[in-house]
Amino acid sequence: MTSTAATGTDTTTRYLARAIPAAALRQLRRTDDSGRPLRPFVAGAADAPIDSVGSPLRCCLRGIRSGERVALVSYAPLRRWAAATGADPGGYDEAGPVFIHTDECAGPRDLDGYPHARTGALRAIRRYDANGHIVGGQLVEIGADPTASIDEALDAAFSDPEVALVHVRAVEYGCFHFEVRRLDRTGEPVSR
């Protein structure tokens, strides 16, 4: 999802919600970030180990539909970002549960607002510096306008020049929802 803001006659990109990258998904579909093999199941099937229908998919940033082949995997987004940037998050490295399609999917498409943002939901906005260390956070209860609620939290997070990226997580389960990176003047994510 890209949130845009009008500035005079121009429209500029403010924030880009990033799904799990394709390269990471390929690896997670073999072995997750805690070393476990993929354990696929059909959402909504009588023998499904988890009632997952409607739960967020982190590969395409939408809810799971009944009949889809999915898996619950352990994902360490900060670890992967640190490996790509040379950062050392130390003890801030963590892995948590996320749902993904077991087969390649089309990725995020036609998102209207931020993914998995519904009025009343609680989200943790975690701020990380260029070293991968937490430099703050905020608990957000999403209001009647979910996009405005998250934009406001991201505005606060990125008002600190130390903040390199933000993770949005569910409070209830601690699940990673999506990543937001600081954008340059052209609207491209700053890698470090």
Q: Give tens-digit pLDDT for 167-184.
A: 999 998 888 998 998 766
Q: Taking Cα atoms as reference points, which of 114, 40, 102, 33 lies closest to residue 74?
A: 33
Residue 10 pLDDT: 37
pLDDT at 155: 92
Residue 84, φ and ψ in degrees, nearest 5? -75, -30
The per-residue pLDDT for 2 is: 45
Output the pLDDT for position 7: 33
> What is the predicted pLDDT for the residue at 14?
67
Q: Cβ neighbours of residue 119 under 8 Å, at least 6 residues apart?
A: 142, 143, 144, 146
**Mean pLDDT, rounded, for 132-151:** 94
The label of the residue with tokens 């394709």 reads 22
What are the tens digits of pLDDT across the range 61-93?
999 999 999 999 999 999 998 998 899 999 999
Q: What is the CB neighbour count within 10 angstroms for residue 56?
A: 19
CA distances from 120 to 33, 102, 123, 146 (A): 31, 30, 10, 9
Q: What is the pLDDT of residues 19-66, one digit of tens each?
A: 899 999 999 999 999 999 999 999 999 999 999 999 999 999 999 999
**Tokens at residue 146, please?**
């979910």
* pTM: predicted TM-score of the whole model, two decimal places: 0.85
In this prediction, residues 107-117 reach a mean pLDDT of 78
**What's residue 23's pLDDT?**
93
Integer distance in angstroms from the first to the last C-alpha of the chain?
Answer: 21
Q: Quick check: 19 and 60 in contact, CB under 8 A?
A: yes
Per-residue pLDDT at 109 exceeds 80: no
Domains of the chain, residue spans:
2-181
